[in-house]
Amino acid sequence: MKKKNLLLVFSIILLASCTEKRYEKSATFPQNATLEEKLKIASHIVPSPQQLAWQELETTVFFHFGINTFTGREWGDGTESPTLFNPTNLNTDQWCETVKNAGFKLVIITAKHHDGFCLWQTKTTKHSVAASPWKNGEGDVVKELQKSCEKYGLKFGVYLSPWDRNAVSYGDSPAYNQFFMEQLTELLTNYGKVDEVWFDGACGEGPNGKVQEYDFPAYYNLIKKLMPNAVVAVSGDDVRWVGNEAGFGRDTEWSVTVLQNDVREEAKISNEKLGISTTSKELGSKELIEKAEKMVWWPSEVDVSIRQGWFFHPKDDARVKTAEQLANIYFNSVGKNSVLLLNIPPNKEGLIAKQDSINLAEYGQFLRQMYAENKLEETKTWKSKQQCESKIFDVKKEAKFNVIELAEDIRYGQRIESFSIEVLKNNNWETIAKGTTIGYKRLLRLPILNVEKIRINIQARDNFRFKHVKAYLAEEFISKPIIERNKDGMVSIKANENATIKYTTDGTTPNQNSELYTTPFEFLSKGTIKAIAIYSEGKKQSDVQSRDFDIAKKEWSIIARSDEELHYEAEKAIDNNENTIWHTPWNSDAKKHPHFITIDCAQQLKVKGFVLIPRKDMLGGIPYNYDFYISNDGKNWKKIIANGEFSNIKNNPVNQEVLFQQTETLRYFKFVALNEVENNAWCSVAEIDLITK
């Protein structure tokens, strides 16, 4: 009996000596710690249980729905009448069933956007559904969605915008913070379990706007008290915004980062000292760690909309992301150590639109098919004994694959700095992929392979643990053709080399008997071109690609501009090429705003609006506020829009379509940029166009 007790004690001591020290969510480095000591500590920072559960969701959904759905805006200004809100057939069961079938596990509703309109029965303001005609003012979108989430087994989250353009108290910091916390209390006490609280960091007040100091620490304490298991994003300590709204994570994505949530002053000072922000290229490099005093577990969330904007707009019906595009986003978000937050905006009826539903169903089916079978023989969890190790995995007999999944066991931290993958061919190892970080999940897309073995080579900061290594065979998408038109009105249609292209120019749906595309053709008028790509001698064909064109800009010319940088001439704003830009000089003594561009259309046109296409790389110069003028003689000008606003253009640089209050006749027009999203002195525009009647 004594021997057994001694053996038990010895086993406990041995187990304790082997247990790794872990730091939940954060760790502060000792003073004068060496880089090696810092890396050791960084390797042992781990997620909280709530962060781990959130990461394992992989894909989540945003429902942007509210007063903007009925006004056609992205950022309402708070003056909208609540009577505009009146969905004719709201069905949150349809929302939840659609996203559940597509594989999503949590949904977040915009309970209050920047316009201040509340989708629940609140006691804090009259600017809510209670003042709308919908259900005679007795409806509650938040309640209906929460019940639907319970029905379909989905987790539930709420978005509550700190920026409120309607609240009278906004700008009176103590009063507004109390008002905001009352709204937060209602949402966290009257609607069951809330799994995620989403605080937007947006604020477009500008230098002359109201200055509101948000009491985020008080918000966080309230959430911890009322809903302790909820994660707080993205102006929160649990979830970090990836830094763009394009649907793509970093190639090197560290969940354990030197970047901290800068709503706290000490964190803001640390970030500025290190010269980093949410948009920095890398957030956990050795160079940054060497200079840092603290590191936190702050994983990345990639948010993107299935449509051009965040709210539903009928004009975007032809630009809903396809299943192929959604799959590509999945690989570049979840497949790069992030969680995907896909926005799916319900329409004015209160339903997810038909095309959105179709594309989501195809996307969900693609993922189910891909994950149906692991093509590798079963292997045990890989626990390394050193920082640099390799391991060979056997492929199932005659199995083919084109996707490899690598996954660290992040319960023990994120430690892998780089990896390479080899396959055995003709008794030789051939490298087929390389990368940096892995984290929760890394997905590698490859050509279809038929090999017997693969070898994974790892370089890490400390001994590492793999959750698993798997391989899958994903179906290949039949890509749609690409339709383009240059300034001269010449249309070109491109597809894969082995495809035959058929097209129409009258808006009808093309089929295998339609016009055969061989060379570019002239299309100067306003209209719709549709095309399909046909493969395998007519046995397979792509979905229809559709492209709407306004009148060609063949005769347009620039007659004046404020300034231009060499190789970034103003003419590039009307060359019908979104990859070229007009850019004013960006040196230290560059001329400040306003910047302008004046265009001669060479003929009188009846116009109902204009389109500005910002540069897509988000590198600077993107206009925020603007004026727009028209003229028939180039001398006498009429201001159509004064101090217009491109809402959310900074983070979501999609085409900005602006409609006039009435149709106007013009030959000349002038666009004047009044400022820039980052308050820089310079201006850039990829393309500017008109919307003719």
- Do residues 642 and 648 make contact, with C-beta atoms less than 8 angstroms apart? no
- Do residues 40 and 33 make contact, with C-beta atoms less than 8 angstroms apart? no
Here the tokens at position 116 are 């201040």
| pLDDT range class, residue 208, cuts 50, 70, 90 | low
To which residue do tokens 């692991």 refer? 374
For residue 318, what pLDDT is reported? 84
> What span, in angstroms and rounded, lies between the C-alpha atoms of 624 and 643?
9
Here the tokens at position 34 are 């060496």
- Do residues 562 and 591 make contact, with C-beta atoms less than 8 angstroms apart? yes
To which residue do tokens 């979830």 refer? 239
Q: Among 514, 360, 367, which Cα is nearest to 441's?
A: 367
> What span, in angstroms and rounded, lies between the C-alpha atoms of 176 and 163?
10
What is the mean pLDDT of the segment spanning 379-405?
Answer: 94
For residue 152, what pLDDT is reported? 98
What is the mean pLDDT of the segment spanning 41-69?
Answer: 98
Determine phi and psi for 497, rounding to 5 degrees. Answer: -55, -35
pLDDT at residue 14 is higher than 80: no
To which residue do tokens 């379990």 refer? 193
The enclosing H or E element of 196 equals strand 196-199
What is the mean pLDDT of the segment spanning 168-187?
Answer: 97
List the beta bridge partners of residue 465: 383
Is the CA virtual torsion 443, 444, 445, 451 positive or negative?
Answer: negative
DSSP output for 165-188: SS-TTTTSHHHHHHHHHHHHHHHH
- CA 264 centroid distance within chain: 25
What SS3 state is found at 514?
Answer: coil
For residue 479, what pLDDT is reported? 87
> What span, in angstroms and rounded, lies between the C-alpha atoms of 472 and 378?
13
Q: String of b and e for 346-357 (b: at least 16 CB within 10 Å)?
A: bbbebbbbebbb
Determine phi and psi for 125, rounding to 5 degrees. Answer: -155, 155
List, in sequence order, every beta strand (DSSP E) within 322-387.
338-343, 382-383
Residue 131 CB neighbours (<10 A): 16
For residue 5, what pLDDT is reported? 52
Peptide bond into 594 cis (omega under 30): yes
311-325 confidence digits (pLDDT tens): 999 989 988 999 999
Q: String of b and e for 43-56 (b: at least 16 CB within 10 Å)?
A: bbbbbbebbeebbe
134-165 confidence digits (pLDDT tens): 999 999 999 999 999 999 999 999 999 999 99
End-to-end CA distance of the chain: 95
pLDDT at residue 217 is higher than 70: yes
Range of weakest confidence among 391-395, 499-503, 563-567, 618-622: 618-622
The enclosing H or E element of 671 equals strand 656-673
For residue 19, what pLDDT is reported? 63
456-491 confidence digits (pLDDT tens): 999 999 999 999 999 999 998 898 999 999 999 999
Number of H helices, E strands in the chain: 12, 37
Percent of the chain scored above 70 by pLDDT?
97
606-624 confidence digits (pLDDT tens): 999 999 999 987 778 999 9
pLDDT at residue 529 is higher than 60: yes
